[in-house]
Chain A
Amino acid sequence: MSAHIEKLPTRISAHALGPIHPSLPAPMRLDLHLDGERIVSARIETGYLHKGLEKTLEGRNWFSAIVGADRLDSLGSSFSEMALCLAVEEICNIQVPRRAQAIRLILCELNRVSNHLSYLAKMSQCVGFETTMHYILRERESVLDLFELMTGSRFNLAFFRYGGVSADITEGFIERVFEVCRQIQIRIKEYHALMIDNEAFVSRLAWLGTVSVEDVYTYGMTGPNARASGVRMDVRKAFPYSGYELVEFNVPTGRGKRGSSGDSFDRLIVRLEELQESLQILVHVAERVPAGDFTCLKVGADFTAPLGEAFARVESARGYLGCHVISAGETSPVRIQWRTPSAHHIRALPSLLKGVTLQDVPVLLASLDLCVSEVDK
């Protein structure tokens, strides 16, 4: 074999992913420039899921706004409903009964559990562990069944109302919550064995897509993505709402155990630990649901909020979700604006994708838990 190997001519090639592509979480476009397999630069284009949500809500009455809020993120409808209701209740000076607050908290934590299970399933699928994905989705089904038992829907619950919730706890719901929490607690040990203790799985995630503390502040990243980088911020602790002030729980952060702090593995570990915390919160609150009313007023299509504005913050499964509501004292809002976590996380993508190989793109995208629906609104 010749000692002199002729260097093959190469150049940067352009590769477009999307708007529809199996490796993308939702319709969006990724324009990549590749040097062989490695990404040199990336450009993101979103807007394919723009549904004019904020404009639509301005033309609807206050009651319909709750249904519209669901569509911000279909997998996290409890959080957007909670944010909207908190803001409107602030404007109207409505005191939500303790029982209703507990019901809301339970639904939000169940939604967090469902979201994090969906995240774990998605990560397993991206890495190629399809069997694990099916196991996790089996657990998620039992959470969705709980939503159906309580609200009648598995997604897009439309269950929150200004002043409370639309119905009281269904018979058998609390017992079923305990059962599902117990079941998932047992299964989490299985997930550890299948994923965390599995070198093949860990090697796909470790050192990939490291988000530094500087990146968190540059892009405004929040939630588990920020906590994985060591930035301990959680709206439930900083600005407690709906009974969270009465619950003790830990806020896990990433420690860089298998790679760097803030890499894809840390983002997965943080969500796994948060899942465990959510299960404990659920059991704690379900054991102590106060007696009382599930709502303090009946809201119909003629509901009017007085003149004023408010900004509500909630900790959704993806991060900090804010809702700014302005009322002019009429039957429809002047403005409902959402601050969504994914809109900030997606801006970090071009810098995170640099230097990553093409095969790792789906894993990195899945690790950020992006919801393009809430980016585009």
Chain B
Amino acid sequence: MDLKSLVQKLNKDLNLSAQLKPFGRTKELMIEVDSAEYLRVSQWLRSEESARLDWVDNLSVAELKNALVFTVFLRSQALTHTLILKTETAFRGQDPVDMPSIGKIWPMALAHESEIATLFGVNFVGSNLEKARAPFPLRKDYSWEFGLE
């Protein structure tokens, strides 16, 4: 199934209005979803037989305009197509944020979530990862003087 049909089926099954967009200048395509739909969409993408998105190439987080933007790079090992899933969540200062973990859907994502939890202060709900403790160095407001009195 091509990605356009896949996203149409996703929207129909989950009652969403996600749109396929180009990712940067590449030929890869992405969909942006609300953080409330992130887990549901991930579960759907993994379980959808025609997509066979069984591999997480990368899970990256960046702080952009006072939001933490999560980018999941998915791939089908067998069919070699890729799809990028993006979501974002607001945060404040050095307060930790909660996000659902996709570690039970794609266990290989836990390697990335463990790093993100420590460096960005994200509590991945549904995983066994330790709760994030401030300060969070990769947030833009992190100061090298944190904790020094």
Q: Is the interface of B mostly helix, strand, loop or mixed?
A: mixed
Indicate whether A339 sits within 8 Å of B62 (C-beta atoms), given known contacts A55-B138, A309-B24, A310-B24: no
**B137 close to A219 (CB less than 8 A):** no
Indicate whether A311 sits within 8 Å of B111 (C-beta atoms), given known contacts A334-B62, A334-B64: no
Q: Mark B111-125, 1 if CB is under 8 A from A, else 0.
A: 110010001000000
Interface presence of B58 (CB below 8 A): yes
**B138 close to A54 (CB less than 8 A):** yes
CA distance A354 to B40 in the complex (A): 35
Q: Give the residue of A217, A220, A310 whose beta carbon is less than 8 angstroms from that of B26.
A: A310
Residues in B whose Cβ lies below 8 Å from that of A309: 23-24
Interface residues in B77-121 (C-beta closer than 8 Å to A): 77, 80, 84, 107-112, 115, 119
Interface size class of A (residues with CB under 8 A): 20 to 34
Please provide the 8 A-B residue pairs with the shortest distance between their CB atoms, ordered closest to farther: A220-B108, A335-B62, A339-B58, A337-B60, A324-B60, A218-B107, A310-B24, A322-B58
**A219 close to B108 (CB less than 8 A):** yes
CA distance A218 to B109 in the complex (A): 9
CA distance A308 to B80 in the complex (A): 25
**A337 close to B62 (CB less than 8 A):** yes
Q: Give the residue of A55, A91, A343 whose beta carbon is less than 8 angstroms from that of B25.
A: A91
**A218 close to B108 (CB less than 8 A):** yes
CA distance A313 to B84 in the complex (A): 14
Interface presence of A326 (CB below 8 A): yes
26 contacts between A and B (CB under 8 A): A54-B119, A55-B142, A90-B26, A217-B55, A219-B111, A220-B56, A220-B108, A309-B23, A310-B24, A310-B25, A311-B23, A311-B26, A311-B73, A311-B84, A322-B57, A322-B73, A324-B58, A326-B64, A334-B62, A335-B63, A337-B58, A337-B62, A339-B57, A339-B58, A344-B111, A347-B111
CA distance A309 to B56 in the complex (A): 18
**A90 close to B62 (CB less than 8 A):** no
Residues of B within 8 A of A (CB): 23-26, 28, 54-58, 60-64, 71, 73, 77, 80, 84, 107-112, 115, 119, 137-138, 142
Residues in A whose Cβ lies below 8 Å from that of B115: 343
Residues in A whose Cβ lies below 8 Å from that of B119: 54
Residue in chain B with minimal CB distance to A313? B57
Residue in chain B with minimal CB distance to A327? B24
- A375 smallest CB distance to B (angstroms): 9
Residues in B whose Cβ lies below 8 Å from that of A238: 80
Q: Is the interface of A mostly helix, strand, loop or mixed?
A: mixed
CA distance A55 to B25 in the complex (A): 25
CA distance A231 to B78 in the complex (A): 11
Interface presence of A233 (CB below 8 A): yes
- A33 smallest CB distance to B (angstroms): 19
Residues in A whose Cβ lies below 8 Å from that of B63: 335
Q: 19 additional contacts, CB 8 Å, given A220-B56, A308-B24, A343-B111? A: A52-B137, A90-B25, A90-B26, A91-B24, A93-B25, A217-B55, A218-B108, A220-B55, A220-B107, A220-B108, A233-B77, A311-B28, A311-B57, A324-B58, A326-B62, A334-B64, A337-B60, A347-B110, A347-B111
Q: Mark A326-352, 1 if CB is under 8 A from B, else 0.
A: 100000001101010001100100000
Indicate whether A311 sits within 8 Å of B58 (C-beta atoms), given known contacts A55-B138, A93-B25, A326-B64: yes
- B84 smallest CB distance to A (angstroms): 8
- Which residue among B26, B54, B58, B112 has the maximum number of chain A CB atoms within 10 Å of its CB? B58
- B31 smallest CB distance to A (angstroms): 15
